[in-house]
Structures are given as C-alpha cells and as structure tokens.
Amino acid sequence: MSKGIVSGMLGFVVGFVTLGLVAFVAGPGVMIVEDDSRFGFDQTVETIRDSAIEAGWKVPTVHRIDEAVSQYGYQVPRVAVLELCQPQHAARILADGDAKVVTSLMPCRVSVYETADGRVVVSRMNTGLLARMFGGVVTEVMTEATQENEEILAAVIGR
C-alpha cells in the first residue's frame, strides 16, 4: 500500500474515534436541558402545573419518584416528574402512522428535583434537537411542543 493510502486510512480512523469520543462526552449535555428554578420545590411543581394548564395543556399526572422509592426503604431528595400533554399535538402524532414512532416520548415530561446543595432543578429532554432528526409531522409537532414547553417553564426558570 502506498504511504498516502495508509495516511488517509489512519486519518479517517483517528477522525472517527475523535468524533465518537466527542459525542460520548457531550451527548448527555446536549440531549438533556437543565435550569435552576427561581422557586423552592413545591412552588416549582405547582407553578409548572398551573402554567401548563393556563397555556391549554393538560397535566395528567405528577409522579413523585422520591415517594415511590421511599416505600422500599430508600430516602432520596424530592423528585417530581410532570406529564404535560397538549391534546391537539398528541392527536396529530397519533393520526399519522409513521409519526407514532415517537409515542414513547409522549406525553412530554419535565422533571423537578432537589440537589444535595439545595438547588431546585428543572430538567427535560432537548426535544427541539430531537425533532430535527425525524422530519414531517414529527418535526412540526415536536418543534411547536418544545417552544410551548419552554414558554410554560419560563414561569420558573425566568427566560
């Protein structure tokens, strides 16, 4: 093999490995969005719920994860996962056979949790980034839903 071909192959392998390492290290920070709340835990959960309802969204369930695990003897800081559903968006996804691939992400979920140092954090998937990967109805709906979710969360994160 010529020196040029070997150098090219080596460059390709090094580039591919570097890209993989960058994706592995940066991936969690890109796929999950976290912001500190301006409020305490209970007020953050209540404000998100109220803001969602005011925006025409439904909040079918608030899962208290800390309470669920405490019944098994584990004591953890408070964690709530709010399910946020906008029926019009859900109907558009459910009516399109190809779009149903994202139903495992429905309804939208927002987590509120306390950290060891007392902060209250609002966490959610970066659905705006995820939306770009699908195209069609999924991209349209997820983009709209992401924007509306961020407007709902502005009540607690101050954006």
49-94 pLDDT, tens per residue? 999 999 999 999 999 999 999 999 999 999 999 999 999 999 999 9
The answer to whether residue 11 sits within a structural domain is no
Output the average pLDDT for the chain.
87
Among 14-18, 40-44, 66-70, 124-128, which is the least confidently predicted range? 14-18
Owner of token pair 């969690």: 28
In the numeric block, which tokens belong to residue 93?
């996804």
In one-letter notation, the amino acid at residue 79 is: V
Q: Is the dihedral of CA 93, 99, 103, 105 positive or negative?
A: negative
Among 17-21, 100-104, 154-158, which is the least confidently predicted range? 17-21
CA 18 from centroid of its chain's CA atoms:
26
Q: What is the pTM of this model?
A: 0.80
Question: What is the torsion angle, in degrees rounded to the nearest 10, for the CA atoms of residue 113, residue 55, residue 50 and residue 86?
Answer: -60
Per-residue confidence (pLDDT) for residue 52, from 0 to 100: 97
Per-residue confidence (pLDDT) for residue 15, from 0 to 100: 58
Among 14-18, 49-53, 73-77, 110-114, which is the least confidently predicted range? 14-18
Sheet bearing 108-114, strands edge to edge: 32-36, 120-125, 108-114, 79-84, 62-64
CA gap 150, 133 in Å, rounded: 20
The answer to whether residue 27 sits within a structural domain is no
Radius of gyration of the chain (CA): 20
The answer to whether residue 96 sits within a structural domain is yes
The answer to whether residue 16 sits within a structural domain is no
- Percent of the chain at pLDDT > 90 equals 68
In the numeric block, which tokens belong to residue 118?
């007392």
The answer to whether residue 20 sits within a structural domain is no
In one-letter notation, the amino acid at residue 76 is: V
The answer to whether residue 46 sits within a structural domain is yes
Per-residue confidence (pLDDT) for residue 116, from 0 to 100: 92
List the CATH number of the domain containing 147.
3.30.310.70
The answer to whether residue 85 sits within a structural domain is yes
Per-residue confidence (pLDDT) for residue 56, from 0 to 100: 96
The answer to whether residue 19 sits within a structural domain is no
Residues of the domain holding 137 = 32-157
In the numeric block, which tokens belong to residue 119?
């902060």
The total of structural domains in the chain comes to 1
